[in-house]
Amino acid sequence: MKFLVSIILTALLSFALCLFMPWWSIAIAAFAVAALIPQKPGKSFVTAFIALFFLWGGLSFWISNSNHHLLAHKVSQLILKMDNPMLLVLATAIIGALVAGLAALAGSFVRK
């Protein structure tokens, strides 16, 4: 239960903070949720990782899909040197997930 609630809270808080703050506010969200809802460090990491993986992956996929992946085709060639929109979505998801996961790990050490 904690696990699921943490995932949802981390994702929601990240989304809300990013409306007003820089992208790295996802770390604040993950840190805060991990600190407030105690879980084992490893579990905290996985929680936030999953939350941001789906938040950033989902958002970017949703945006790209309604753009018919027009821009993702171009930017993947620019950044990844290959024409692969889904890889760009994956890269986005993993970067968000890693940052949030590590921040949650730090947050989890606040309690114990």
Residue ranges binding other proteins (CB under 8 A): 15, 18-19, 22-24, 27, 31, 41, 56, 59-60, 63-64, 66-68, 70-75, 77-79, 91-92, 95-96, 98-99, 102-103, 105-106, 109-112
Q: Which is nearer to other proteins, 1 or 66 (CB)?
A: 66
CB proximity list for 97: less than 8 A, separation 6 or greater? 48, 49, 50, 51, 52, 53, 56
Shortest spacing between CB 95 and other proteins, in angstroms: 6
CB atoms within 10 A of CB 66: 8
Shortest spacing between CB 61 and other proteins, in angstroms: 9
Q: Which is nearer to other proteins, 1 or 112 (CB)?
A: 112
As a whole number of Å, the CA-based R_g of the chain is: 15
Shortest spacing between CB 54 and other proteins, in angstroms: 12
Single-letter code of the amino acid located at 25? S
Burial class (CB in 10 A: 0-12, 13-18, 19+), 47: buried
Shortest spacing between CB 3 and other proteins, in angstroms: 19
Burial class (CB in 10 A: 0-12, 13-18, 19+), 27: buried
Q: Which is nearer to other proteins, 1 or 22 (CB)?
A: 22
